[in-house]
């Protein structure tokens, strides 16, 4: 019987496994279906134009050793604390942590290449079902399966568009269209779309890249490193107060510091917001929050600027009215923000709109959890509902003390659980709890 089964070997699952070893906690088995364990979606890219969007100084995987990555990156590739290093380098870092932990505790930590497709309660335990038909029992399970696959945007029928449509830009390291000079439409203008544009250019794609979103906003760029004074008092937990607070603080300390200053409070603010307020925030403030909070590295912003100036990349604000397959790709009717309409002929459409919602997820594991009565969607449908300790909430509202979720799957419950600085704390706390180290005073963060 496995003591702790960790499902997903990306940043969240890997780091949980590493921290269980560091806390001399229970034995764990880490299951990963696709990538090499210790990489996950973000850090398995091999492209050197894919840079971290956080400086090396703030990318330590270990919250009790904030300079850990900085020292590793300095020794590995001479990176400075203010550098934005390639994500592939970060993948090597994460992998080295996993390998170290495995070498240190070979009997405590095991990694297994397998897809978990179902979980069933069985008395005091869980039965894990694997895609290859095998089964295994576990006392406790941690879901670290990452972002849910994107959902096709309104106005698009993936089946009718066939191979002119790509729903997942990460699948197979992206794909230039059949005609190397035909335009590509990226739906979305966030960091994923920027990544896709850089990848297409790197792959030698010569045609125009059009990035489309409702408002046509692209991520802002990081500035020079600056001190961020701690925020003595967080604003009230409603959209208007938060926006007013940010505007006022931005005047005093600059918008970047104002956003960064709020970060230690965002999870608490989110958890205190009533549902209607969360919905209001998502409707009116989310895109603004995202472009200011999730910023581009200056090198990436420079490349984007260059592509726009050269006419290789065009960002437009609007929405898709319809899309149909053509012999060479797809033809779309677009309604622009100024209400004018436009026809766009492209070789391929790539969905860069970000993670989909949990209730409509077709992933076997998610379906098994929801349909089997072990979990319920959070109130916004962004992920699974958990309590403040990460315990998964059952449909009857009771937290399950043996089933946990970490990382982007808990976004609806905590909001900011997608970046390294947030996840490293979350998994650290969970590792301490699973190891009973949270009873030991002193070294908690
Ligand atoms: C492109 C990109 C760039 C980013 N850049 C940064 C950055 O620069 N700085 C920063 O702080 N944050 C960044 N992030 C955010 C953050 O680091 C990631 O969201 C984080 O890595 C999430 O890790 P995860 O392990 O939860 O998810 P993932 O990395 O998605 O890993 C989940 C893993 O679970 C596996 N899995 C899923 N289901 C199953 C199953 N049923 N059975 C077995 N295995 C399964 C998947 O194959 C996958 O490997 C980035 C995110 C993305 C997507």
Q: Are 147 and 10 in contact (CB under 8 A)?
A: no
Ligand 1 center from residue 406 Cα (angstroms): 11
Q: β-strand 165-166 against 135-143: which pairing, if any?
A: unpaired
Ligand 1 center from residue 8 Cα (angstroms): 9
Take atom 3 of ligand 1 and give the residue whose Cα is closest.
42
Alpha carbon of 356 to those of 31, 351, 359, 439: distances in Å? 23, 11, 9, 37
Ligand 1 center from residue 289 Cα (angstroms): 21
pLDDT of residue 178: 62
Closest CA to 282 of 392, 197, 378, 152: 378
- The pTM of the full predicted model, rounded to 2 decimals, is 0.93
CATH class of 158-220+295-351: alpha beta
pLDDT of residue 173: 45
* Residue carrying the six token digits 């989310």: 286
Backbone dihedral angles phi then psi of residue 180, each to the nearest 5 degrees: -65, -20
- Ligand 1 pocket: which of 2, 7, 11 to mutate (most atoms <8 Å of CB)? 11
Q: Which helix (H) or strand (E) holds 69?
A: helix 68-77
Homologous superfamily of 2-149+356-439: FAD/NAD(P)-binding domain (3.50.50.60)
C-beta 91 within 6 A of ligand 1: no
Q: Which stretches in the chain have pLDDT values below 50?
A: 173, 442
Q: Are 234 and 265 in contact (CB under 8 A)?
A: yes
HEC string of 187-220 equals ECCCHHHHHHHHHHHHCCCCCCEEEEECCCCCCC
pLDDT of residue 219: 96
Closest CA to 5 of 43, 24, 23, 32: 32
C-beta 34 within 6 A of ligand 1: yes
> From start to end of 188-312, where are the E strands?
209-213
Identify the bridge partners of residue 336 per DSSP, sorted by sequence position: 318
Q: What angle do CA 11, 408, 437 make, to 5 degrees?
A: 60
Question: Measured between alpha carbons, how far is 347 from 164 in angstroms, rounded to an integer?
Answer: 7
Question: Measured between alpha carbons, how far is 337 from 35 in angstroms, rounded to an integer?
Answer: 40
pLDDT of residue 177: 63
Q: Are 29 and 140 in contact (CB under 8 A)?
A: no
pLDDT of residue 441: 53
Question: Measured between alpha carbons, how far is 101 from 82 in angstroms, rounded to an integer?
Answer: 28
**What number of other Cβ atoms are within 10 A of residue 339's Cβ?**
7
Take atom 46 of ligand 1 and give the residue whose Cα is closest.
8
Question: Measured between alpha carbons, how far is 326 from 262 in angstroms, rounded to an integer?
Answer: 48
Alpha carbon of 274 to those of 121, 265, 277, 310, 413: distances in Å? 32, 16, 5, 46, 12
C-beta 365 within 6 A of ligand 1: yes
Ligand 1 center from residue 120 Cα (angstroms): 25
The helix/strand/coil state of 110 is strand
Give the position, in ligand 1's atom list, of the atom nearest the Cα of 31.
43
Range(s) for CATH 3.50.50.60 in the chain?
Answer: 2-149+356-439, 158-220+295-351
Q: How many residues does the chain have?
A: 445
List b or e across 272-287, with b for residues whose CB sees 16 or more CB atoms inside 10 angstroms.
ebeeebbebbeeeeeb
C-beta 422 within 6 A of ligand 1: no
Residue 269, token pair as written in the block = 């603010």
pLDDT of residue 92: 95
Q: Angle formed by the axes of helices 87-104 and 68-77, to 10°?
A: 110
pLDDT of residue 176: 63
Q: Would you give the end-to-end CA distance of the chain in angstroms?
A: 32
Radius of gyration of the chain (CA): 22
Q: For 310-359, where are the alpha helices, taking DSSP H only?
A: none
Give the position, in ligand 1's atom list, of the atom nearest the Cα of 406.
26
Residues contacting 94, CB < 8 A, separation 6+ = 11, 14, 15, 38, 39, 40, 43, 61
Residues contacting 130, CB < 8 A, separation 6+ = 114, 115, 116, 117, 136
Question: Measured between alpha carbons, how far is 145 from 13 in angstroms, rounded to an integer?
Answer: 8
Question: Measured between alpha carbons, how far is 277 from 329 in angstroms, rounded to an integer?
Answer: 41
Q: Are 257 and 152 in contact (CB under 8 A)?
A: no
């Amino acid at each position: 019987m496995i003591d702790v089964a960790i499902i997903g070997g990306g940043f969240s699952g890997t780091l949980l496994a590493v921290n269980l070893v560091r806390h001399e906690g229970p034995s764990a088995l880490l299951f990963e279906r696709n990538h090499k364990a210790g990489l996950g979606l973000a850090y398995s890219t091999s492209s050197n134009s894919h840079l971290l969007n956080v400086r090396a100084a703030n990318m330590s995987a270990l919250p009790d050793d904030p300079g850990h990555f900085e020292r590793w990156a300095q020794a590995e590739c001479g990176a400075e604390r203010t550098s934005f290093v390639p994500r592939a380098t970060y993948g090597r870092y994460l992998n080295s942590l996993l390998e170290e932990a495995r070498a240190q505790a070979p009997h405590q930590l095991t990694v297994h290449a397998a897809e978990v497709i179902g979980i069933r309660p069985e008395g005091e335990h869980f039965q894990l079902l694997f895609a290859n038909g095998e089964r295994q029992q576990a006392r406790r399970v941690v879901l670290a399966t990452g972002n849910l696959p994107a959902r096709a945007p309104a106005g698009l029928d993936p089946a009718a568009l066939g191979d002119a449509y790509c729903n997942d830009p990460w699948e197979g390291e992206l794909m230039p269209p059949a005609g190397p000079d035909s335009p590509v439409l990226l739906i979305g203008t966030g960091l994923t779309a920027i990544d896709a544009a850089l990848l297409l250019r790197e792959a030698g794609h010569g045609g125009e890249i059009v990035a489309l979103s409702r408002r046509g906003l692209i991520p802002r760029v990081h500035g020079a490193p600056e001190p961020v004074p701690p925020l003595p008092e967080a604003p009230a937990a409603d959209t208007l107060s938060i926006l007013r607070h940010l505007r006022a603080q931005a005047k005093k300390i600059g918008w970047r510091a104002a956003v960064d200053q709020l970060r230690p409070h965002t999870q608490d603010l989110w958890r205190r917001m009533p549902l209607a307020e969360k919905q209001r925030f998502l409707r009116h403030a989310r895109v603004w929050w995202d472009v200011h909070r999730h910023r581009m590295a200056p090198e990436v912003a420079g490349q984007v600027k260059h592509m726009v100036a050269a006419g290789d990349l065009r960002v437009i604000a609007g929405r898709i009215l319809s899309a149909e397959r053509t012999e060479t790709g797809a033809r779309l009717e677009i309604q622009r923000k100024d209400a004018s309409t436009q026809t766009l002929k492209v070789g391929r459409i790539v969905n860069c709109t970000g993670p989909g919602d949990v209730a409509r997820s077709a992933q076997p594991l998610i379906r098994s959890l929801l349909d089997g009565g072990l979990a319920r969607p959070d109130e916004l449908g962004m992920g699974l509902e958990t309590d403040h300790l990460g315990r998964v909430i059952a449909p009857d509202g009771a937290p399950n003390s043996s089933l946990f979720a970490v990382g982007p799957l808990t976004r609806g419950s905590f909001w900011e659980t997608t970046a390294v600085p947030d996840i490293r704390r979350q998994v650290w706390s969970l590792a301490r709890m699973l190891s009973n180290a949270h009873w030991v005073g002193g070294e908690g963060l």
